[in-house]
Structure 1
Amino acid sequence: MINNTNEDGTPYFLTANHCGGNASAADRYAWQFYFNFERPACGSGTAPQNQVITGCKLISTGPISGGSDFQLLTFNSDVPENYAPYYNGWSRLTTNPAPGVSIHHPSGDVKKISTSNSIVNNAASINVGGSIMPKNSTWRVTWSENANGWGVTEGGSSGSPLFNQNGLIIGTLSGGSSMCNNPTSPDFYGKFDYHWENNGTANSEQLRPWLDPTESNVNTLNGYDPYAVSVEETIFNESFEGSTFPPTGWTLQTAIADNTWKESTGYSIAGDPPTPINPQDGQKFAYVQWQGEQDQDEWLISPVIDLSNKNELAMTFYFNGSYHWSVTNDNCDLTLKARIGEGTWADLWTELDFNWTSELNYVWNKVTITNLAAYEGKPNVQFAFVYTGKDGANFNIDNITLFSATQGEQEPLSKPRNLNATLVNQKDVELSWSAPGPFTDPNLVYYATSSDLNSLIWATPERATLFDITDFGLSYPAEISKLIHTFYNHQSYPWPDNTFQFKIYAFGETTPLYTSEPIEAIHNKEVSHDLETPIIVTNNFYVSIVPVDESGHPSSGTKSVSPGTGHSYAMNEEGNWEIYDDGEDAYELIISTLIAGASKISYNTNNNKHGLTSTIDLTKVARIEEDQLPSQKAEGTLSGYKVYRNSTAIATISNVETTSYIDENIPNGSHWYYVTALYSNPEGESVPSNTVQITLTDIDNNMLNNVSMYPNPFQNSITINNAEQLNRMVITNIIGQTLMDVPLYGLQTEYIPTNKLTKGVYLITVYGKNGERKVSKMIKE
């Protein structure tokens, strides 16, 4: 399944066109899609076959002959929560990724995973099973050995996704020659980027209109879990893997000692064939054996759990039972209960609350409980799983987790940014990067972030931040391409309406350069808005919040600052901007702006102190009390960096001021690098930085002398001859602003469209695969 930019859970399914692409609508109506078809443990256990969706419709497709071989389907029904659906993210970037994986079902078998350290663009056309796929439409993948063996693909793997190092889909399997007795032969995956809009001009030949319905034009999109609950802290977990039962601290309360809760490594339910019951995870689980003659009332009670200072609680667990005996016949029930101290047990959930069907007999189903507000902050809470009934059927439970959830989506440990690789001689690679920061884009400028939130304002009719990008080491002219703002809905000042608009004004002007469509604010969330056409500014500018409701709500998150240091303004009755500072109180709106096309300069060293004050109404202001502030994840203390080549650590750097490393005497071939940040208090390692690739070959150092670019002057295109050893071309203007950055694919002749460039003088830089470069000055007429 695959995500779309609405992130609304539309049940899209991506596969290859040659996998039934010519089927009729009636045939597709009968297609079946199996979920969680995997063994509970590596190499052992039975995969469930009763989590099935039947029926689909064809949305769009591209042929294998002359195209990139894809089809996008949508299921005829939504996917049930207990199937735990996940909508995979995707990337349409065309640069060669770092190592990746394929998840597939060879010959219809249970799930398999194959790993690769070599995924490269196939610049030439390729014959796949007698069909000619165009140049640059496929990834060429060779598989690599790991600790579990050497993964390959087989017949039946076709249409399966290829994931990059970030877990995003970049292609679908069309074919190849890898097999168990020939693991080093390549496979070919139709490229997601080619699927996007290169198979034809109609919507029925593209992914773009379906997977980007918001017309965001993003290159990557993360995956979407519609039922995920983010976790700040795991408070309690029990998966019954210990040596005793009940586990330490747990107690039994039983009516029939021989038929109460027990542990098991697995058993079978009688039938033809028998139904195996295996652990949901690990080696053991807990279950109750039904009894036909007496009433059962069997309690499995947790230890006392201290939930002092814990909030936004949630619990997950897995259960497994008989729909027929517990729902249809109602002979038995499974109930989750809770109590505080020695108080009365309260029901939290029963199996009747769960949306399951007869198809889910004896299948592990995940349950998420969030109605736990009554237990937040209590020092002595217990939970109990209670089996009641007579002449019923077994119930099984496993993997119980209680945690504190948070709405925040920040990574707990920030990663290094802006990794670059440069070949400093024929065998040494110099890496350089930026230290971790709150945002991954260095040109996202702001005077306050969400972590500074301690107050709110709802000034009318507009409030704004006055930006001076020289404060951030950037110069004018510049493009504004994205606006981000954090809102806060205070319980004492609730929003009557959550709708607002963004506006952008040039400094000293009252007519906006840009006005957004109405947007809905979300409490304590960063609301991000992409400008379809970037706005060019040549001087300081205001970014304003315009509430639709005359009350001034939704209220804006702010940071209280010292008088004379803020950059926030409010519009007065005459339509002019006045500083939001009365000499005693001042506030900084939590607004961020993404700047593009600006040159780097030295950072402005002024201290931003000003003497401006105003008599503007500052009554629409509120402080946020400490207990109402959003909980912040511990960022830890940066202690160093770890450098990786081809997924293997090659260096650990203990000096946090060192943000470069030279990898010496590396062998010929393609190499992928990334860097992680190391932390103490708490100890940990961040997710990887961006990945960079560099290729070393024994080629003629003077090969760039043979490269030619023409015509000069040019109009709508530039031709590059003898381009076989080139991998990139960059076009900048005469003040150094990058206007085009184009990957090259090793062809003898490359044609670069330049119709979007205006008339003028440009510097054209081409880069060789070993880091060499050649610069030419060219003129567009």
Structure 2
Amino acid sequence: VEVDNVNRTALLSWNTGEQYFADSFEDGTFDAWEEHIMGPGTPGDDQVNAFWYVKDAGNAPDGTKIAHSDWGYGIDTWIISKPLLVTAGTTLSFWWNTSYYWHVSPYDNGDLHVKISNDGGNSWTSLWTENDEGTFNNFVWYETVLDLSAYQGSVQIAFNFVSNDGATYSIDNVVFGNSGKKLGTFARSNAPSVISNAKSVNGFNYEFFNPKTHKSFVGFNVYLDGAETPLNAEPIEGTTYLIEDLAYDVHTASVEAVYTTGVSNKVSIGFTLTQPIIITYGVVGENGTLTATADGNAIDSGEEVPFGADLVFTATPNSGYKVKEWTVNGSTFTGFLETTLSIDDVQQSTTVTVEFDLISGVNIGTLTDVKAYPNPFNDYITVSNSTMVKRVTVTNIIGQTVLDINYTGEPINTSVLSTGVYLISFEGINGERMVQKMIKK
């Protein structure tokens, strides 16, 4: 999830390849698979390829193409999936078509091994071969649905055809995911429109559908904060979704896959939308420039910065000018003449401006020699040359007044102040002002 605090949006994205995979080979390639191993086989008489390849088939269970290997000698051919994620309820379904006569009885000259690996393909466990099905008809399409929930975690699936002087083998419409299909093996006639020719295998009755139009996967639903109704009106086919108009709060987004037979388990992710910290700065009038950095990186006015960033504002007066005053979040510090202003650990959006004045026009009156010390300070501040001072205010760097006292000449108790940077403002008996930046240890 990519959170945009300024625009109050969250862009969700998810990897369908890990939780759902389907290939009916209609693109004529094995590009959807991680690896295609042709193997060492030699085609038999009048055969084309002794390995998996894609060919046209008028009786294909789904579409017009199938994965197929002709018969031959020394065949050991593989197609291996990309990494997939097995969760509770994950199944693997596929259609297969071969010869009982040549691969089971009376000859056992070849087998299709459906295999699974949970160690990146270093070792493989056989899940199924056609020998598991008992008696079946020669060259009739069967669909097998296997339960993979015992292998929860990251896996790869392989279809490994091994044969020597056997028969051809075809597979089609491989589907991995939480499809809700009934487990078992189901048969149909090579004429897909004739339901009366459907078979019953291992006690399971074949439930007919038109395989040329059937698609189990529909799309995805997106939910926010446990709502029962998805955000999208219809299942979406893409793998991203933009959630808009979010409140500044903690949220949970969930995604589920939608099938014609039901939905998958939801996959959820939590995220937090926080009030953005926007830094705005500029020069009042002209006569100079103002730049800023956040954690050492230059920022533009109006830019968002991370929570807790350290800000540094640098004023550059034109020739003949100097800093007249700084203003932070509406609080003006007249007499604070330094060209650099630092705000550490920023906690909120902040606006800073600086104003310049002619050097000849600067007049800090009778407070010229006033100075507070020590700097840095702990629990007390002492003011020297303070006979003309009548009032002292202490302001934190975001413009909040934290102390405001009528000055009597005694040391100022600062024990209530937190560690940080402060601006100490002195007001003279004639209304003149002077500002000093100090640090509380």
For the aligned pair, the TM-score class normalised by the smaller chain equals 0.3 to 0.5
Larger Rg: 2
The structure with more strand, counted as a fraction of residues: 2
Task: Report which structure shows greater RCO (CA 8 Å, sep ≥6).
Answer: 2
Please give the TM-score of this superposition, normalised by the length of structure 1.
0.20
